[in-house]
Structure 1
C-alpha cells in the first residue's frame, strides 16, 4: 500500500506540473513521443487516465499481470460518478437509457468485447469474461446481459445518475444532436500497457456518444478500431467520434504501420491523416490515438487540439498534451 500511495502522490504532482503548454519545459514532448522507450509503461486517454493509471500500476505491482492492470485501471473510471462518458453514470442514448461498450485484448491475440449492454457496472470485466470463458469475441445487447447474469455479475438498477438525468432533461427540450469537440466526443477511456518482460495488453470502455440512437455502437468494443494489441509489434487505442475511427480501423492501422517500421508517433500521425481523408465535416470531429511499441516508445496524436493522455512509468504518472493535425486558432 505504501508503494501505491507514493505512486498516487507522483500522479498528483504530475497532473499539477504538466499543464497545457508547459510539458516541453520539463523535457516531455507535447506529442507524447519518447526518445528512449521505458518498461513497464501504461498510457490512457484523457485526464481521467491519471487515477486509472494509478490503480493499474498498483495492480501490476500486486499481481505482475499487465492484463489485470489494464482491467483494474479502467474499472476506476467506470465507477467515477463525475465522468459522464464512461460507466452507468454516463449520458444516455436518446431514449434515456445508458448502454455500455467495452473491449479487452492481450498481445497473443486473445480478446473479448461487449456492446449495447445494460445494467452492468463493469463492462470491462464482462468483456474479459467473454475472452476467457467463451469461444466468442463479441457478445451484444440482451445476450451480453444474459451472459453477465450467468457469470454472476449483479444487475444494477436502471436509473440515470443525477448529473446524467439533469443533462438529459435539458437535451430533451430541443432533442438535437450536435456533438461538441472535446466534450461529448471524448467518450472513452482507452488504456494500453507494456510490462517489464515485453508483454502487452489493452482495454477500452465507454458509455458512448451522448443521445445516440438506441442501439448505436461506436469503435470502443470493436477489435481493430478502438483497440488493438500485438506482442510482436505494439498496441494502440483510440478515443473520439467512433464512426470516424471505425472507417479506418484506426488502432489496427497504427499497429500495422509500426510493424512496417513507423515509430509510434509517425503511426499515430498517419492514422489521423487517414481519418481526416475519410470523414466529412472534420471541423466537428475529434479523434485521438495512443500507441506503444514493444520497446516502450510511445506516440499520441489527434485531429484537433485538446486531447491529452496520462503516462505512467517508474518515474511517475503525468498528464501530457497531445499534438494535433489542426492547430489552435
Structure 2
C-alpha cells in the first residue's frame, strides 16, 4: 500500500509539472510537493518570435515591403496584411489578383478575399464585382457585421454602403485576352498558371503562361512585435471560370486559417482541391500536433495526392505556413511555387518551395 501511495503521489506531481509546461511557462527549477516552483526557482518564457511577414509568389516581395512599413514600426499584423494584400490588388500587370484580374467566361471580373486575426475574428467576400480592394471589404465584414462571408450582389451592396468606390475592373488588356480565349473557349487551368497556353510563345504583356505576372492567389501571414498573428488572402480566381465560381481564397479554413496559439496557413493553386481537404485548417492542426510549418504543409499536400493520385499530376496546390515562433515553411505538388519572406534581416528573400514532382506535367 505504501508503494502504491508513493506512485500516485509521484504521478500527481508529474502531471502538475506538465500542466505548467503546457501553460506557456516552463519550470526552470525544482518543483516542491505542492506542485509549485521551489523557493528561489525562477520561471522563464519562450523567447519572443521575430517580427516577420511571408507571402506567396514573387509578387509577394512588394506586398511584404508594404506590410513591413507597418510591422517595422511596431504596428499590428492585421493592418500589415491588409496593406500588403492591397499592393497586388492594385497592380495592373497582375492578372490573377485584384482590379486587373482576368474575367470569367462571360467577361465578368469577380474577386474573392478573406482576412483573419489571432483571436479567430475573420471576414470574407466572394464573387464581388466592381470593387478594386476586396481584402478591405473582407475586413469590414469582419469588423462591422455579425457575419463571416458575403457574396455577389450582397457583398457589392455592403461595400458601397461602406463607402467603397464602384469601378469597371475589366481592363483593356484583360478584355483582349478574354476575346482571344473566346476563339476556342477551351478551359484547362495549367500548372502555376490560371491561363491556357494558346500554342504560341509566352506573351508577358498579356500575362500568358510563362510570364512572371501570371501566378495566382496571394496569401500573406504576419507576426507583429506584440506576438500577434494575422493572415490575408485575395485573388481574382481562375481565368475563364464559370460565372459564380468561388475558390478556396475567401473560405476560412480552406484558403486561410489563423490560430493565435499555434500559427497560420494559406494556400494557392486549384482551390477546389484545397476546399475538399479544408487545407489551411489542416496545416494549422498538423502544427498543433507538433509538426514544423514545412512538415505540416508537406503532409497536407500528400493528403491531396493520396486522395486523387492521378488528378494531382496535372494540377498545382501549394501551402505556406508560419507558426507562433515565426518559423516559415511551404510545400507544393509541382515545382515552381515560391514564397517571399521579410523581416528585420531580410527584406526581399524569395524562396523556392519544395515539391512532390520536380517536372511540370502541363
TM-score under structure 1 length normalisation: 0.86
Q: Is 2:300 the partner of 1:290?
A: no
1:307 alignment partner in structure 2: 337
Task: Say if 2:49 and 2:227, in contact at 8 Å, map to a contact too.
Answer: no
Q: In 1, Cα distance between the equivalents of 2:298 and 2:266? A: 13
Aligned-pair CA distance for 1:319: 0.6
Q: What SS is found at the alignment partner of 1:303?
A: strand
Q: In 1, Cα distance between the equivalents of 2:135 and 2:107? A: 22
Q: Is 2:164 the partner of 1:153?
A: yes
Task: Say if 2:112 and 2:134, in contact at 8 Å, map to a contact too.
Answer: yes
Q: In 1, Cα distance between the equivalents of 2:312 and 2:321? A: 22
2:27 alignment partner in structure 1: none
Q: What SS is found at the alignment partner of 1:139?
A: strand
Aligned CA RMSD, in angstroms, stands at 1.5
Aligned-pair CA distance for 1:38: 5.3
Aligned-pair CA distance for 1:53: 0.3
For each residue in 1:153-194, what CA deviation from the matched residue of structure 2 results, as whole angstroms up to 9, or x when unmatched? 110025x21221121111000101011111218420000011
Q: Is 2:106 the partner of 1:77?
A: no
Q: In 1, Cα distance between the equivalents of 2:168 and 2:272? A: 29
Aligned-pair CA distance for 1:62: 4.6
Q: In 2, Cα distance between the equivalents of 1:295 and 1:87? A: 31
Q: In 2, Cα distance between the equivalents of 1:97 and 1:63? A: 40
1:98 alignment partner in structure 2: 109
Stretches of structure 1 lacking an aligned partner (at least 5 in a row): 1-35
For each residue in 1:256-304, what CA deviation from the matched residue of structure 2 results, as whole angstroms up to 9, or x when unmatched? 0111111111100000001112335212210111101101111100000
Aligned-pair CA distance for 1:195: 1.3
1:322 alignment partner in structure 2: 353
Q: What SS is found at the alignment partner of 2:265?
A: strand
1:134 alignment partner in structure 2: 145
Q: More deviation in 269-278 or 135-144?
A: 269-278
Q: Is 2:174 the partner of 1:164?
A: yes
Q: In 1, Cα distance between the equivalents of 2:127 and 2:226? A: 35
> Which of residues 240, 245, 258 in structure 1 aligns to 2:287?
258
Task: Say if 1:236 and 1:252, in contact at 8 Å, map to a contact too.
Answer: yes
Q: How do residues 1-329 of structure 1 correspond to structure 2 at under 5 angstroms? A: 39-62=50-73, 64-158=75-169, 160-184=170-194, 186-279=215-308, 280-317=310-347, 318-328=349-359
Stretches of structure 2 lacking an aligned partner (at least 5 in a row): 1-46, 196-214
Alignment length (residue pairs): 293
Q: What SS is found at the alignment partner of 2:109?
A: coil
Q: In 1, Cα distance between the equivalents of 2:160 and 2:322? A: 35
Task: Say if 2:71 and 2:225, in contact at 8 Å, map to a contact too.
Answer: no
For each residue in 1:226-269, what CA deviation from the matched residue of structure 2 results, as whole angstroms up to 9, or x when unmatched? 00001100000000000011010110000001111111111000
1:8 alignment partner in structure 2: none
Q: What SS is found at the alignment partner of 2:254?
A: coil
Q: In 1, Cα distance between the equivalents of 2:142 and 2:72? A: 23
Q: What SS is found at the alignment partner of 1:144?
A: helix
Aligned-pair CA distance for 1:327: 1.8
Q: 1:38 to 1:316 in 2, by over 3 A?
A: farther
Q: In 2, Cα distance between the equivalents of 1:265 and 1:38? A: 17
Larger Rg: 2
